[in-house]
């Protein structure tokens, strides 16, 4: 038995944020019916390379555990077909431009179902920002994330992180609404926008501004409040040190054979180290260059000093596999990334490969 067994989701989502949410809900057991434009489908079906056979891996990454139905919402027959689907659904998820579903008569208000959980995702909300395009890169720019990423020129994250975070927040909202419906019989409208999710997800950087008026600047791989907490060179490949307290720092100094650093007034406490981070980096980098990254990883880790090599994706999967985390799952011969949620009584399930458009 799965956690969401029996829950039916009418999925009108496209691209990444909302499809990621519906895939996670599908992994948890919900029946997800993905509505796609006839003949074309979700635009990410064409977003390649890379490809798995003739299918774009982008689409495959966020659409397992779903069936697909082609419905032309521009026609009355299509809209009637959509209403029939919604009539048997517990949840609707959509991320069209605000106002689009209302134009089709398929918005939360028009459907008039008190028991329906209806999740709408937009870029900038349904008010004054309704006409702004909700692209992840754009939101990273105007939402401030690019201003704190990199070490000079603005840099985006290497994945559409705002979309993924929004999808996860959407899951939380839908699950909370389903819990409320379970107790009261009443559904509700769940709304999320990419900008608000980003501002919330920037946590300490956002709070530094709202609480202390500090506008953060890009620090590259450094942390504004912790040191040493960045990337260092070694004899071969870069390594990360994430030293979070004074005890870990003293152990690090001992292993590097520079115990005097732990009593140096510039480095005794974390605030001291943050203030003198450039000088600290120079000393540590000189020592760390003596041996390869794997040597430091194997030496420092058993002593409780957090560190690790900067892996590429292939090595990251190999690490997860070596730790017994089971980072992948196979469906119909297709290797996909596993859902990271582990439930002891109602584990996630992998029932359906991402659907072909004709399905």
User: 9 - beta bridge partners?
Assistant: 32, 91
Given the residues 115, 163, 193, 282, the one annotated as active site:
163
Active site residue 163: yes
Q: Which residues are designated catalytic?
A: 163
């Amino acid at each position: 038995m799965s956690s969401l067994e029996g829950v039916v989701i009418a999925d009108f989502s496209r691209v990444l944020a909302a499809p990621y949410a519906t895939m996670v809900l599908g992994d948890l057991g919900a029946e997800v019916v993905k509505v796609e434009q006839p003949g074309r489908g979700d635009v990410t079906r064409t977003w390649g390379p890379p490809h798995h056979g003739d299918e774009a891996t982008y689409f495959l990454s966020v659409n397992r555990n779903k069936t697909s139905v082609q419905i032309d919402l521009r026609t009355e027959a299509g809209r009637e077909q959509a209403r029939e689907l919604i009539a048997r659904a517990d949840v609707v998820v959509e991320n069209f431009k605000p106002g689009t579903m209302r134009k089709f008569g398929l918005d939360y208000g028009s459907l008039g179902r008190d028991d329906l959980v209806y999740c709408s995702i937009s870029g900038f909300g349904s008010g004054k920002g309704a006409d702004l395009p909700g692209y992840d890169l754009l939101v990273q720019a105007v939402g401030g994330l690019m201003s704190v990423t990199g070490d000079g020129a603005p840099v985006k994250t290497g994945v559409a992180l705002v979309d993924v975070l929004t999808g996860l927040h959407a899951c939380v909202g839908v699950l909370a609404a389903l819990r409320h419906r379970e107790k009261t019989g009443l559904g509700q409208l769940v709304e999320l926008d990419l900008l608000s999710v980003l501002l919330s997800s920037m946590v300490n950087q956002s709070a530094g501004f709202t609480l202390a008026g500090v506008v953060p600047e890009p620090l590259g791989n450094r942390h504004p409040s912790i040191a040493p907490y960045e990337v260092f060179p070694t004899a071969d490949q870069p390594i990360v040190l994430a030293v979070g307290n004074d005890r870990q720092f003293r152990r690090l100094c001992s292993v590097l054979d520079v115990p005097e650093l732990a009593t140096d007034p510039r480095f005794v406490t974390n605030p001291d180290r943050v203030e003198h981070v450039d000088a600290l980096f120079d000393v540590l980098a000189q020592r760390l260059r003596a041996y390869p990254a794997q040597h430091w990883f194997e030496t420092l880790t058993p002593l409780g000093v957090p560190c690790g090599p900067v892996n590429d994706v292939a090595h990251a999967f190999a690490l997860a596999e070596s730790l017994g985390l089971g980072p992948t799952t196979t469906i119909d011969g297709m290797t996909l990334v596993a859902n990271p949620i582990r439930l002891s009584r109602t584990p996630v399930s992998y029932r359906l490969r991402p659907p072909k458009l004709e399905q």
